[in-house]
Amino acid sequence: PQVGIAVLEDDVELGANVWIDRAALGETRIGRGTKVDNLVQIAHNVQIGEHCLVVAQVGISGSCRIGHHTVFAGQSGCSGHLNIGSGVVLSARAVAIKDVPDGVTLSGYPGRPHREWLKTQANLQRLDGLREKVKELEERLAELEDPRS
């Protein structure tokens, strides 16, 4: 059985259907001024700093330590036992799978720095054209290497 407690500091706001697991032994703590939207799961032994924003359908796995002024956008989350720094932003549907230093904005899965993720998404749009170009170049190379020509 979980024998720990859950502590909600002053001015914490919780939306509908928010689950906050009490700690296994110590405490789960939600820092002062933090706002938690609807349908959020905060697992056991999580420590959330002051004035954070946790938007709808977020999942925070057990024993995570989250700094102050951090934002978890809709459907984002983090793996267990991570340290998420202060001022971090996890954009919508981003997932942190390793520690995140202060002030970083993550996007995607696995979570990457936002500008890197944007470049990756732009390159994905070009893949079909590149595949066709490679196929064309392979055919031309095969013709040049064909001893019969």
Active site residues: 44
Alpha carbons 17 and 37: distance in angstroms, whole number:
9
- How crowded is the C-beta side of 123, counted as CA atoms within 13 Å? 6
Task: State the pLDDT confidence band at 149, using cuts at 50, 70 and 90.
Answer: low
Sheet holding 71-72, edge to edge: 13-14, 35-36, 53-54, 71-72, 89-90, 105-107, 112-113
The first and second tokens of residue 149, run together, are 């020509």
- Residue 142 pLDDT greater than 90, yes or no: yes
Task: Please write the tens of the pLDDT for every residue from 67-76.
Answer: 999 999 999 9
Q: Which sign does the torsion angle of CA 12, 16, 21, 22 carry?
A: positive
- Residue 99 in this model has a pLDDT that exceeds 90: yes
| Each residue's pLDDT tens digit, 39-94 | 999 999 999 999 999 999 999 999 999 999 999 999 999 999 999 999 999 999 99
Spatial separation of the C-alpha atoms in residues 123 and 50, rounded to whole Å: 38
| pLDDT given at position 147 | 80
Instruction: Using DSSP bridges, classify how beta strands 59-60 and 77-78 pair: parallel, antiparallel or unpaired.
Output: parallel
